[in-house]
Amino acid sequence: MANPSLLILAGDGIGPEVMDEVKRIIGWFGDKRDLTFDVSEDLVGGAAYDAHGVPLHDDTMAKAQDVDAVLLGAVGGPKYDDLDFSVKPERGLLRLRKEMDLFANLRPAQCFDALADFSSLKKDVVAGLDIMIVRELTSGVYFGEPRGIHIEDNMRVGINTQRYTEAEIERAARAAFDLAMKRNKKVCSMEKANVMESGILWRDVVTEVHADYPEVELSHMYADNGAMQLVRAPKQFDVILTDNLFGDILSDCAAMLTGSLGMLPSASLGLPMANGRPKAMYEPVHGSAPDIAGQGKANPIACILSFAMALRYSFDEGSEADRLEAAIEKVLADGARTADLMGPEGGTPLSTTQMGDAILAALDESL
Ligand code: NAD
Ligand code: IPM
Ligand code: MN
């Protein structure tokens, strides 16, 4: 059988730096586990704009549609702040999500024991945390029409529209319930049904879909309360289901429960392809971190854990994903820290490459 194919879009800022470590990990699985991928690379975001004048070339979009999975680093940066909105780096990422129809964005937040002391919250609040945010990714206010900046009565008006069809809510809800069935069978759905009609529909449809999952306990929460509960008592949650914008914000919030935004991976999944694998893109939750880009300081773990999610969700290699996650857990337990994971006690942080070295060594030890 042909090797599975991967398209790497490293992007901007720290994207290429963290992706270099993922490439070494991919190489390790080829050498040591006979798990070989056909890897191709292309440009996205500001890097694509610099080369082609657009944040995603049509050829790159076509390649993304054709491969078994896409791995993306990060896009954006101050250099591109003044570009026309239509060619901003972030538009490249949003085009990939929309055209690949990646409606289910899985954002796990897990607190590794070794980092429980490091979270900005009390250790008891986060130790042992393991939650999964399912963020709807292809609709809502990110894509709703009408949108734009218009002149009305000699004044500029900025417009975005929150819009959800019941089919869009239903498929995101099914993704969340299916995941909950493999976890602790609890879903908390978050919206603002108290102030938004789209929230009322969201709550109705999620409740209807729940009828097919009688074993799963379903609760509903207003998203603002959800943000508060996430920092008050995050372990009350198993799967959180929410829309595109609330999911963006709640997942950054959840990142700090794990110690650093540099720890949070994600999988964006769509419909099954002809070969049975879901359309998929894997990317860290963090961005291009312009404040530390080019300095070798970035934590590569979020991007490496995103590759672990690819092993699990695209390639049915759950035990190899476990191996990679265990290697990361081990290096953290041994005290390996990039700068973002340094506590007030200080010490010398590892560089991005040194963290990669440590994880590769732990993988070798796992054999
Ligand atoms: P950011 O996630 O890039 O950075 C926020 C903070 O977290 C910064 O202080 C940064 O140094 C730190 N950080 C992030 N990732 C880290 C890592 N791996 N290791 C160590 N520290 C890390 O968010 P921002 O500053 O709001 O956005 C910067 C740019 O990135 C913007 O152009 C934004 O649109 C873009 N962005 C892209 C993505 C993506 O590509 N998926 C996600 C979020 C933001
Ligand atoms: C994320 C990012 C993106 C989003 C941006 C860069 C388009 O913040 O993946 O969390 O808002 O979805
Ligand atoms: Mn975000």
Q: Please report, for the chain, the start and end positions of each structural domain, with discontinuous segments joined by +.
A: 1-108+261-367, 130-256
Give the DSSP H/E element, type plus range, for residue 265: none
288 CA to centre of ligand 1 in angstroms: 5
Pick one of 3.40.109.10, 3.40.50.2300, 3.40.50.300, 3.40.718.10 as the CATH number of 1-108+261-367: 3.40.718.10
Does ligand 1 have an atom closer than 6 angstroms to the CB of 47? no
| pLDDT-derived band at 291, boundaries 50, 70, 90 | very high
Judge whether 192 counts as a catalytic residue.
yes
Strand extents, DSSP E, 52-141: 69-74, 104-110, 130-136
d(CA 293, CA 359): 21
Which ligand is located closest to the Cα atom of residue 71? 1
Task: Give me the mean pLDDT over the 315-338 stretch.
Answer: 97
| pLDDT-derived band at 346, boundaries 50, 70, 90 | confident
What pLDDT, in 10s, does the model give residues 46-81? Answer: 999 999 999 999 999 999 999 999 999 999 999 999
Give the DSSP H/E element, type plus range, for residue 4: none
What pLDDT, in 10s, does the model give residues 308-323? Answer: 999 999 999 999 999 9
Q: Model ipTM?
A: 0.98
| pLDDT-derived band at 117, boundaries 50, 70, 90 | confident
Angle value at C-alpha 251, between 363 and 97, nearest 5 degrees = 85
What pLDDT, in 10s, does the model give residues 253-271? Answer: 998 899 899 999 999 999 9
Domain 130-256 is found in CATH 3.30.930.10 = no
What pLDDT, in 10s, does the model give residues 92-104? Answer: 999 999 999 999 9
Which ligand is located closest to the Cα atom of residue 11? 1
| pLDDT-derived band at 155, boundaries 50, 70, 90 | very high
**Which position has the token pair 């976890």?**
183
Closest C-alpha among 65, 25, 68, 16 to residue 45: 16
Judge whether 142 counts as a catalytic residue.
yes
Q: Are the folds of 1-108+261-367 and 130-256 the same? A: yes
User: Taking the model in full, what pTM does it have?
Assistant: 0.97
Chain center to CA of 261: 11
Task: Give me the mean pLDDT over the 208-221 stretch.
Answer: 98
